[in-house]
């Protein structure tokens, strides 16, 4: 087992400052655009290529999962020209009022109308297929037209809008052949009905619309859980702070604070900007940077960082870094950059669509041209072209990934895991290395009950522990579960100090003796007990790591704790590689190095200092008890909190990937048979619609079959 301690972090406060300085590389996006209609890798390329040619824009990154573009531009730039440039490229864009704003989808009404109309038109078609002829057949066709035409005009609008946006700027996307097939099917059906033809294909147009909308809705369902962890980190910054001015303390917006300003902070407050401590000592919760829950003592002259919590006070500070230069903002930008990189992941469906879309146009055009030249019959050539477009329409391809993903995520949810990213399963299936945070993820600090405490004193200790929400107190209370608490009076909890109360007229307390005191002390009347703190493994940590090793996965540990503590925990779990004393920036660097070395990394962590690493990894998992920012940065949240769920999640993801590949094989086999049949004129548009529907249903059934096992 190798233990690597970060030399720069071993020195204490200066190391944290050095680590913070390394976070300055990402440039803060100045604007965000919402892109509600993008849905593939081609859209990403169009948006980024268009934006980078606009004067004043330095960089543009698209996050497909959140349908947003983060843009770095010159100060004071106007987003209006950007939106107009995207509109000219066929992409709808809106300026986001805030980084977290998102537009909701509107596909369900379209899906509902398509499904309802499809069922009714198919019922009418059954009568035609059963032998209805002459005036009866014509009447049924006209009733079908009355239902299908307005229903299709409404239900297919998402495809029409996207196709028109692409065509008017001379480019193609998957919605172009879809729209063409729907319009031709409706148009030719209306023509046949008007001139007393024997066949109409309104049901084909509706079935096409319904199955493709179903795929989009399933895909949208997976995207709705996505939330930016960078937004949560930004929310940790207080909006106002007391500035010390000649007239006294005045509450000011944090945006008005300048370097050199003197600030006043009460106990329990969060440090608003990077600053130097002017008085003290003070106890600081630095879990924001280190992940360790134990507070540290800082003395006058020490550096404090935005996001840290002042447990004792009040204190005065002098601002040393403000705005985008603070540690909190730098970490937020680091997370946003990692999220954007992951959001560019091209799914299997996107890669397949890049090949499939031009093929559909070419095959249909060749079929039309060939039949027109061979027969001179425009009507016949159009029927063959329509049948080819319908039979090759990417319904099965559009359902191949969403159907499996929804089935897999539903099973994971029933098992206590919440999947939050639409590409999470594909990425999770390929992981070969699992990187763990230590404290809070694999281990926890626990206070030991004094051996010499009497039964009455144990009951008092249980009551004091019950009165606090501190994690150490909660675990102490759990260890005293078989001890009945006494009734206390005058219970009072002070941040950073502990709990005090009165029992039988005597003062009792649980906490620290005073500011900077290292020990946790239990006082009961005249008796004083120093509670020892030990680090213990979480109950299922060993089983979870063993299960991963059993699957052939490698495990590592990244922690802000000391090398000695890290080595002890890693050795007890059989984890071979350990990096100790590392901060948020170093965790990202190490994850990036592992990936650059060819390893596919799954990051498991729960703290603020893990957030950027969670976003930078190939895939990521956070326990249900993790902080909001960590949960939102992760692809999967273990709602049940059991680490033993990680191995089954990877197994299900691998099974889902196999089912997706099987679905692609089904779609490819179907097209290999159906395309020649349609091109040679052996398939009417109606037969093409039935074949297309059959392939879509087969794909969905295969997805469900795979996830029931």
Least trusted range by pLDDT, from 66-75, 506-515, 573-582, 664-673: 66-75
For tokens 């005065």, what's the residue? 316
pLDDT at residue 207, as a whole number: 80
Phi, psi (rounded to 5 degrees) for 59: -160, 155
Asked if residues 296 and 284 have their Cβ atoms less than 8 Å apart, the reply is yes
Backbone angles phi, psi at 621, to 5 degrees: -135, 140
Using alpha carbons only, give the angle 439, 441, 442 rounded to the nearest 5 degrees.
80
Q: What is the pLDDT of residue 150?
A: 94
In the predicted model, what is the mean pLDDT of residues 357-385?
82
The first and second tokens of residue 388, run together, are 């080819």
The larger pLDDT score, comparing residue 228 to residue 435, is at 435
Question: Mean pLDDT, to the nearest integer, of 473-498?
Answer: 84
Whether residue 292 is predicted with pLDDT greater than 90 in this model: the reply is: no
| Residue-wise pLDDT tens digits, 607-664 | 777 888 888 898 999 887 676 667 777 888 887 678 899 999 999 989 888 888 888 8
Cα distance from N-terminal residue to C-terminal residue, the chain: 38
Count other Cβ atoms within 10 Å, centred on residue 78.
11
Q: What mean pLDDT is reported for the chain?
A: 78
In this predicted structure, what is the pLDDT of residue 102?
A: 38
| Position 269 pLDDT exceeds 90 | no
Question: What pLDDT is attached to residue 39?
Answer: 64
**Do 302 and 284 meet the contact criterion of CB atoms below 8 Å apart?**
no
At which residue do the structure tokens 């698209």 appear?
Answer: 62
Q: 3 pLDDT band (50/70/90 cuts)?
A: very low
Our answer to whether residue 437 is catalytic in this structure is yes
Q: How many Å apart are CA 479 and CA 246, to the nearest integer?
A: 53
pLDDT score recorded for residue 287: 62
Question: pLDDT tens digits for 532-555?
Answer: 888 888 888 999 999 999 999 999
Of 658 and 354, the one with more pLDDT:
658
Please pick, among 175, 437, 561, 635, the residue that the annotation labels catalytic. 437
> Which residue, among 485, 481, 479, has the nearest Cα to 508 in the 3D structure?
485
Average pLDDT over residues 403-425: 76
C-alpha pair distances (Å), 232 with each of 183, 325, 661: 45, 18, 36
Whole-number pLDDT of residue 107: 80
Mean pLDDT lowest among 172-181, 273-282, 370-379, 516-525: 172-181
Residue 675 has pLDDT above 70, yes or no: yes
| 272 touches 256 (CB < 8 A) | no
pLDDT band at 398 (very low <50, low <70, confident <90, very high): low
Of 9-13, 271-275, 618-622, 699-703, the poorest mean pLDDT is in 9-13
Q: Is the pLDDT of residue 331 over 90?
A: no
Tell me what the mean pLDDT of segment 225-229 comes to.
Answer: 44
Q: Which of 478, 479, 468, 459 is closest to 510 using CA atoms?
A: 468
Decide if pLDDT at 166 tops 90: no
Q: Which of 604, 665, 5, 21 has the alpha carbon at shortest distance from 305?
A: 21
Distance separating alpha carbons of residues 645 and 18, to the nearest angstrom: 37
- Note the pLDDT of residue 532: 85
| Local confidence band at 14 (pLDDT 50, 70, 90 cut-offs) | very low
- Nearest Cα to Cα of residue 86 among 181, 171, 143: 171
Angle 669-671-672 from CA coordinates, rounded to 5°? 65
Whole-number Å distance between alpha carbons of 226 and 205? 33
Which residues are CB-neighbours of 672 under 8 A, at least 6 positions away? none
pLDDT value of position 149: 93
């Amino acid at each position: 087992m190798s233990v690597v301690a970060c030399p720069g972090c071993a020195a204490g406060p200066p190391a944290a400052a050095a680590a913070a300085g390394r976070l300055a590389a990402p440039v803060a996006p100045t604007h965000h655009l919402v892109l509600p209609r993008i849905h593939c890798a081609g859209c990403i390329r169009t948006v980024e290529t268009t934006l980078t040619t606009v004067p004043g824009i330095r960089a543009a990154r698209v996050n497909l999962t959140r349908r947003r573009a983060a843009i770095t531009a010159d100060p004071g730039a106007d987003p209006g020209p950007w939106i107009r440039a995207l509109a000219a490229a066929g992409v709808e864009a809106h300026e986001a009022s805030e980084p977290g704003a998102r537009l909701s989808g509107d596909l369900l009404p379209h899906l509902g109308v398509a499904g309802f109309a499809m069922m009714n038109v198919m019922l009418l078609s059954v009568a035609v297929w059963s032998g209805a002829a002459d005036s009866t057949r014509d009447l049924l066709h006209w009733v079908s037209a009355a239902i299908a035409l307005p229903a299709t005009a409404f239900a297919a609008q998402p495809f029409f809008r996207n196709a028109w946006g692409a065509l008017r700027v001379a480019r193609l996307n998957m919605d172009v052949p879809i729209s063409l097939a729907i319009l031709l099917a409706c148009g030719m059906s209306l023509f046949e009905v008007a001139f007393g033809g024997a066949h109409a294909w309104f049901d084909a147009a509706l079935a096409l619309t319904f199955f493709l909308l179903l795929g989009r809705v399933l895909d949208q369902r997976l995207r709705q859980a996505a939330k930016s962890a960078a937004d949560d980190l930004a929310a940790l910054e207080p909006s106002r702070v007391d500035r010390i001015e000649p007239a006294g303390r005045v509450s000011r917006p944090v945006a008005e604070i300048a370097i050199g300003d003197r600030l006043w902070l009460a106990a329990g407050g969060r440090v608003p900007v990077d600053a130097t401590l002017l008085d003290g000592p003070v106890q600081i919760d630095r879990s924001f940077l280190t992940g360790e829950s134990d507070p540290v003592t800082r003395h006058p002259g020490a550096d404090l960082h935005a996001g840290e919590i002042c447990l004792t006070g009040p204190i005065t500070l002098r601002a040393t870094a403000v705005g985008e230069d603070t540690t909190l903002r730098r970490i937020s930008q680091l997370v946003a950059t990692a999220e954007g990189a992951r959001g560019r992941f091209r799914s299997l469906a996107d890669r397949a669509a890049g090949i499939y879309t031009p093929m559909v146009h070419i095959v249909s055009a060749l079929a039309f041209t060939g039949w027109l030249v061979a027969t001179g019959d425009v009507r016949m050539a159009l029927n063959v072209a329509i049948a080819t477009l319908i039979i090759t329409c990417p319904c099965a391809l559009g359902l191949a990934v969403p159907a499996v993903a929804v089935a897999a995520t539903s099973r994971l949810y029933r098992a206590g895991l919440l999947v939050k990213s639409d590409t999470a399963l594909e990425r999770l299936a390929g992981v070969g290395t699992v990187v763990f945070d230590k404290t809070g993820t694999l281990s926890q600090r626990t206070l030991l009950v004094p051996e010499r405490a009497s039964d009455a004193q144990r009951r008092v200790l249980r009551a004091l522990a019950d009165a606090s929400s501190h994690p150490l107190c909660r675990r102490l209370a759990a260890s005293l579960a078989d001890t009945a608490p006494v009734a206390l009076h005058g219970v009072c909890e002070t941040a950073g100090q502990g709990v005090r109360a009165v029992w039988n007229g005597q003062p009792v307390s649980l906490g620290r003796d005073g500011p900077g005191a290292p020990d946790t002390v239990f006082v009961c009347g005249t008796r004083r007990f120093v509670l020892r703190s030990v680090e213990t493994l979480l109950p299922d940590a060993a089983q979870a790591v063993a299960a991963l090793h059993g699957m052939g996965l490698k495990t590592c540990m990244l922690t802000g704790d000391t090398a000695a503590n890290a080595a002890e925990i890693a050795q007890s779990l059989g984890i071979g590689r350990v990096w100790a004393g590392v901060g948020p920036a170093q965790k990202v660097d190490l994850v990036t190095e592992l990936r650059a070395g060819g390893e596919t990394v799954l990051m498991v962590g729960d703290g603020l200092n893990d957030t950027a690493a969670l976003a930078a990894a190939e895939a990521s998992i956070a326990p249900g008890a993790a902080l909001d920012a960590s949960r939102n940065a992760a692809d999967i949240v273990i709602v049940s909190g059991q680490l033993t769920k990680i191995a089954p999640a990877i197994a299900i993801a691998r099974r889902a990937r196999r089912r997706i590949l099987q679905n692609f094989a089904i779609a490819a086999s179907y097209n290999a048979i159906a395309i020649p049949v349609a091109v040679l004129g052996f398939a009417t548009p109606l037969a093409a619609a039935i074949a297309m529907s059959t392939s879509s249903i087969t794909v969905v059934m295969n997805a469900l079959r795979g996830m029931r096992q």
